[in-house]
Amino acid sequence: MIPTVKKTIYTAFGLRLTSDIPLPELSIARDDDIHADIEIMIADLPKFWNDEVSEANHLSYAVRDHQIFFHIPKAAAFCIQEGKRIIVSPMMGSDMNKVRLFLLGSCMGALLMQRRILPLHGSAVVIDGKAYAFVGESGAGKSTLAAAFLSKGFPLLSDDVIPISLSADGASPVVSPAYPQQKLWQESLVNLDMDTNLYSPLTHEVEKFAVPVSSQFYAESVPLAGVFEVLKLENGETEIRRIQKLERFRIFNCHTYRNFLIPLLELEEWHFTFCLNLINHAAVYQLRRLDSGFTAHDLAAQILDTISEGA
């Protein structure tokens, strides 16, 4: 009889998963339940990229029979199936740090969408038992802003991909914990007085570092109370304004992680209904900040004042 090998059960994004690829970034489940919501496995994938993929920034993608295919140059091909399985086909000599980066980013964002869990592109922290999300374009300062909140004693829920689902009664949005790590640029580490020698680069290609935050990680789901869209300005004054009416839909649509998948997966109606729920339950703000100097600590203080005034 072949002995059964007990696989490690990880927790991330409010789900349980097993993986053929070690995932040191994730938390390990503390119970003996062997049930897993997601399986990550290594296998060969069809090589049809030259004819059937579309270009999307630094990755190629395709959707066939509701399966999502990603191809990351010099890393791996991925297939996301039914919100339950991710097949990974690493390339010869690929950087496994880069493979894991896309696995826990683009692939998990796509899988969450398949499971009808809304992935927002940003960071989320817990303030007074409620989740507040910071969304924006790459480089807007979302992770740095979250790090400023961590320095003030507020725990992290998620960085990069924010998983939002509905409460058990289906009435209100909740944010599930992703995993205890931030991704910070070298400049942010220096400005936050953090020693870059203590952290490892995410990949050899970018000056962005993996920053473990296990002691400052909130491991329970909490209600979503507010969303701040972070915008950089070349001139003007820092301003926080509350967003009303239909502009809130633009913010949720624009900052849904990998939102180009919504029509390809025929999820427009679901996405609209879900965003309507968010609008009805969470305050939405726009934070306009100057693209000069280091202001994360001041911005965090202004956000806390805004939340206090709106309570």
Instruction: Note the pLDDT tens digit of each residue in 70-90.
Output: 988 888 999 999 999 999 999
Question: Per-residue pLDDT tens for 33-44?
Answer: 788 999 999 998
R_g of the chain, CA atoms, integer Å: 19
Q: Which residues contact 103 (CB under 8 A, 6 or more apart)?
A: 21, 23, 40, 78, 86, 88
Digit-coded pLDDT (tens) for 216-240: 999 999 999 999 999 988 777 788 9
Q: Do the beta carbons of residue 13 and residue 27 sit within 8 Å?
A: no
Q: How buried is 84 (Cβ within 10 angstroms: 0-12 exposed, 13-18 middle, 19+ buried)?
A: middle
- Point out the least confidently predicted range of 1-15, 120-134, 161-175, 202-216: 1-15
DSSP run (H or E) holding 96: helix 96-102
Q: What is the pTM of this model?
A: 0.92
Q: How far apart are CA 171 and CA 122, in angstroms?
A: 23
- Find the farthest-apart pair of alpha carbons in the chain and give their distance in angstroms, rounded: 72
